[in-house]
Amino acid sequence: MARYILRRSGYMFVTMIFVAVIGFLIIELPPGSYLEFEIARLRQLGGDMAPEQIRALEIRYGVHDPIYLKFWKWFSGFVRGDFGRSFEHRLPVSELLWQRLGFTVLISVLTMIFSWVVSIIVGVYSATHRYTIPDYAITVLQFIGLSVPNFLLALVLMVFAQQVLGMEVGGLFSGAYRNAPWSLAKFIDLLKHLWIPILVIGASGTAWLSRVMRGNLLDVLNMQYVQTARAKGLPERTVVWKHAVRNALHPLVMVLGMSLPGIISGETVVAIVLNMPTTGPLYFRALLQQDMYLAVTFLMFLAVLLLIGNLFADILLAWLDPRIRFE
Amino acid sequence: MANQAQSPATTRDLVVRVRDLHVYFFTDLGVSRALNGVSLDIPAGKVTGVVGESGCGKSVTALSIMRLVPHPGRITKGEILLYREREKQNGHSIVEEVNLTDLDPQGPVIRSIRGAELAMIFQEPMTSLNPSYTIGDQIMEAILLHQKCTRKEAEERAVDILARAGMPNPKTVVRRYPHELSGGMRQRAMIAMALSCTPSVLFADEPTTALDVTTEAQILDLMRELQAAMGMAIVFITHNLGVVAQMCDTVAVMYLGRIVEQAPVEPLFYEPQHPYTRALLRSIPHVGSRTKARLEPIRGVVPDPYATIQGCPFHPRCDYRKPGVCDVRVPATVEVGESHTVRCFLYTEQGEDNG
C-alpha cells in the first residue's frame, strides 16, 4: 500500500512536469502579456528608477531569453515556492493565491460532501422505491437539476434569499464582517452565506450522482448475493445498506477523482455571479488579462488537485473492493 | 395424504406443507401465472426432488416458501405451513405450526425463520457471495443473527462448518474473499453458510448446474453426506434427472406452475404415470441404447406464461389427450400408488374448472 502510494506520487511528479511545460507554453504562445504591458508602462513613466526596474524585471523573468530558459526561470522558482508576481494586482502570486484558496477548498469540500450524502440517500431511496410516486418526483427534480445552468440557479436563489429570507446576498460575509477579524460571530455569518454556493455548485453534480447511484443500486439489487443476504434472514435495511450499497459505490468513487478540479473550475461562473472571494474569478481574470504567472500557478494547482483526487479515489476504491490489487 | 395434526404434536413427519399455492407476477406485459395451485409436502429429513423444464416454477416454489418472491410477484392464493420444533421450558419440544403466507415478507417472524429454519443455496456460486466481504464474515453474519454467541465463538463455528463442508484449510479460508476461491469452493462456502444454523430444510436451487461434472459429483456427495449427518430435509431443484435418481427420496414433477406427478424415486423412474413424466424420461440418453438412435424430444415448447391454457396445461403437447376432456378442465390430483399421486385424466374423471 505504502509502496503503491509512493510509486503513484512519482508518476504524479512526472505528470506535473508535463502539465507545467504544456501549460507554460500555451500561456506563452499568444503575443503580448501583462509583463510587457507593465514594462511599457514603466518606460512611459520614465524617471531615474525606470530603466533599473525594467532591467530587473527582464532579468528576473527572462524576457529576452529563449523560451526554455524562460521556462526554467519560472519553474525553478515555482518549485521553491516563488510563484512569481501578478502584474495586474502588483502582488506576489502566492499572496493572492493563499488568500483565496482557503475559501475555494472549503466550498469545494463542503459541496462534495453535500452532493455525496444527498445523492447516496436519494439514490438509495429511489432505487428501493422504484416506480412509486416519490421516485418519479425525484426523477423530475434530478432532470431539472441537470438541465438548469447553475448561474441561473444562483440568481434565482439570490432573489429568493433576499426577498423571502431577507438576507444580504452576495459574497461569503455580510458587510459588517467582511473585513473584521475572525470571531465566532463571523464564522456563523459565514455559515449563513455558505449554503447558497454549496447548493448552486452541488446541484447538477448531485442530480447526476444520485441518478448514477439509483441505476447502480438497481443493478446490484438484482445480484444473487443480495438474495443470499435476504435468505439469511437479514432485515431489508441491512441487506440494502451493507450488502448492496457498498457494491454500488464504485462509479461514485471514480467520479470523485474527477470532480475535485471540476468543482473548482466549475464554480467560476457561480463565484462571479455570487461575488465570492474564491479562486475562480481571479483565475478567469488572469487568463483574460494574460497575467501569466498568476494563470499558470492556478493551472498547476488545479492539476495537483486532479492528481491528488485521483489518487485518493483509487485508494478509496481499493479499500471498498477487495478484488482490486495494487499492481 | 397425511391428515393435519390437530393436537400439538411432539415430532413431525412434515416440515413444510404447501397447499394450492398460486403466485402471479403482475408485470407491464400482463399477468404471468408462475404457480397455479402447487401442493407439495416436504417430509422431514428426506430429500425431495423438484424437476421440470425451465420456467415451470421450480425456483418460484422455493422462493415462495422462503417468502422471497421478487417484485412484482405475489402469492395470490393458497397456504404454506411450516412445522417448527420449539423447545419448551420443561425440556420437551413441541411442534408449532406457522402459516408463512400470513406473514409480512419483511417482518421479524419470517426473518427469524429464514436462515435458521429454512436455508437456500443458489445456482450460481460465482455470484451468490458478496464480493466485498470475507467468507468468514458472511457465514458469521448468519450465525450472529440467529444464535446467541460472541464474534469469537461465531468464527469458531464458521471454521467448524467450513471444515464439515469439506473446505480445505478452513482457518485461512474464513479470511479469504470470494474471488480468491474456485466455483466448487464457493459452493462449499455457500453450503456451509446455509447449514451454519442447522436449518430444517435446505432449498438447493440447481446447486451444481454451473459446475463442471467432477466438482458436481463432489458437491452432490457432500450434500448427501451432510444430509445424513445433520438430518435436515433437502428440496433439490434441478432439471437433471440423473441427479434426481442419485440424490432424492421422493420426486415432484412440475409443469407450468403445477405439480403433475409426485412419487418416491423408484416408482417415478420405473412406473411413470403422467404423460409428461414419461416424455421427460424418454428424452434422456440411455447407456446401451443403439448408437444411431435419435433422442426423443418432447413435442412443442413450453407455452408462454402469459397465455392461459384452457384445460390441462400439458394437453397441447400430450400424445394421449382426450378431446373434450383434457382441453376443457384441469384434472384433479389422484393417488395411483403408495405416496404416488398424479394429475391426469388418464387416471381420474374428476377435474376442476380453470380459475
CA distance B145 to chain A (A): 7
On whether ipTM exceeds 0.90, the answer is no
Give the tens place of pLDDT for each residue, A106-132: 888 888 889 889 999 999 999 999 889
- How high does pLDDT run on average in chain B? 87
- Any CB–CB contact under 8 A between A321 and chain B? yes
For residue B271, give the nearest of B283, B258, B281, B256 by alpha carbon.
B281
Alpha-helical regions (H) of chain A: 2-28, 34-45, 49-61, 67-80, 93-128, 133-147, 150-163, 184-221, 224-231, 236-238, 246-248, 250-274, 279-288, 292-320
Answer left, alpha or beta for residue B286, where phi above 0 means left and psi between -120 and 50 means alpha.
beta
Residue B295 confidence (pLDDT) above 80: no
Buried-exposed string A126-157: b where 16+ CB fall within 10 A, e elsewhere: bbbeeeeeebeebeeebeebeeeebbebbeeb
Q: CA dist B334 to B337, B338, B341, B343, Å?
A: 9, 11, 5, 6
| pLDDT for the residue A326 | 65
Nearest CA in chain A to B180: A323
Q: Specify the pLDDT at position A135.
A: 93
Residue B13 pLDDT > 90: no
B129 → chain A, closest CA residue = A225
- Output the nine-digit C-alpha cell for B35: 404457480
Is the CB of residue A129 less than 8 Å away from at least one CB of chain B? no
Architecture of domain A105-320: Orthogonal Bundle (1.10)
Is it the case that residue A219 has pLDDT exceeding 90?
yes
> Inter-chain contact B179–A246, Cβ cutoff 8 Å?
no
- Residue B115: list chain A partners with CB under 8 A: 231-234
pLDDT tier for residue A221 given thresholds of 50, 70 and 90: very high
Contacts across the A-B interface (CB distance below 8 Å) = 70
Give the per-residue pLDDT at B289: 65
Beta-carbon contacts of B320 under 8 Å, excluding residues fewer than 6 positions away, are B275, B346
In which band, very low, low, confident or very high, does the pLDDT at B253 lie, cut at 50, 70 and 90? very high
User: Per this entry, what is the length of chain B?
Assistant: 355
Cis peptide bond upstream of B331, omega within 30: no
Using CA atoms, how far apart are residues B136 and A327, in angstroms rounded to an integer?
A: 26
Query: Do residue B127 and residue A224 have CB atoms under 8 angstroms apart?
Result: yes
Statement: residue B89 has pLDDT above 60: yes
The candidate with the shortest Cα–Cα distance to B181, out of B191, A276, A201, is B191
pLDDT recorded at residue B5 = 43
Give pLDDT tens digits for A92-107: 888 888 878 888 888 8
Q: What integer pLDDT is reported at residue B6 of this predicted model?
A: 45
Residue corresponding to grid cell 403466485 = B23
The closest alpha carbon to A200, from A281, A266, A283, A137, belongs to A266
- pLDDT of residue A134 exceeding 90, the answer is yes
Q: CB of A103 within 8 A of CB of A172?
A: yes
Residue B3: predicted pLDDT: 43
The widest CA-to-CA distance across chain A, in whole angstroms, is 89
Mean pLDDT across B272-289: 84
Q: Do B177 and A323 touch (CB under 8 A)?
A: yes
Q: What span, in angstroms and rounded, lies between the C-alpha atoms of A39 and B74?
A: 82
B132 neighbourhood in chain A, CB within 8 Å: 246-247, 320-322
Contacts of B112 in chain A (CB under 8 A): 233
What class has domain B14-117+199-310+327-352? alpha beta
Confidence at residue B152, expressed as pLDDT on a 0 to 100 scale: 93
Q: Is the CB of A221 inside 8 Å of chain B's CB atoms? A: no
Measured distance CA(B208)–CA(A182) in Å, rounded:
69
Q: Which of B121, B120, B47, B45 is nearest to B85 (CA)?
A: B45
Chain B residue nearest residue A130, CA to CA: B71
Chosen for mutation from A228, A249, A323 (greatest number of chain B CBs closer than 10 Å) is A228
Interchain contact, B120 vs A231, CB within 8 Å: yes
CB-based contact B122 A321, cutoff 8 Å:
no
Q: What is the pLDDT of residues B143-154, one digit of tens each?
A: 999 998 999 999
- Of residues A325 and A208, more confidence is placed in A208
Task: Break chain A into its structural domains and give their ranges.
Answer: 2-93, 105-320
Contact A228 B190 (CB under 8 A): yes
Phi, psi (deg, nearest 5) at residue B96: -110, 135
Compute CA A246 distance to the chain's CA centroid, rounded to the nearest angstrom. Answer: 26
Q: B288 or B245, which is more confident?
A: B245
Nearest to A228 among B116, B122, B179 (CB): B122
Residue B209 in contact with residue B186, Cβ under 8 Å? no
- Burial-class residue B67 by CB neighbours within 10 Å (0-12, 13-18, 19+): buried
Q: What is the pLDDT of residue A264?
A: 62
- Grid coordinates belonging to B336: 395411483
From CA B119, how far away is CA B207, in angstroms rounded? Answer: 13
Residue B79 has pLDDT above 60, yes or no: yes
Mean pLDDT of B93-119: 89
Contacts of A229 in chain B (CB under 8 A): 130
Range with lowest mean pLDDT among A63-67, A238-242, A311-315, B58-62? A63-67
Dihedral sign from CA coordinates of B318, B346, B329, B334 = negative
Q: What is the pLDDT of residue B7?
A: 46
The mean-pLDDT minimum among A309-313, B86-90, B276-280 falls in B86-90
- pLDDT single digits (tens) B16-37: 999 999 999 998 888 888 898 8
Position B137 pLDDT exceeds 90: yes
- The pLDDT tens digits of the residues spanning A153-175 come to 888 888 888 888 777 777 777 77
Neighbours of B330 (CB within 10 A): 21
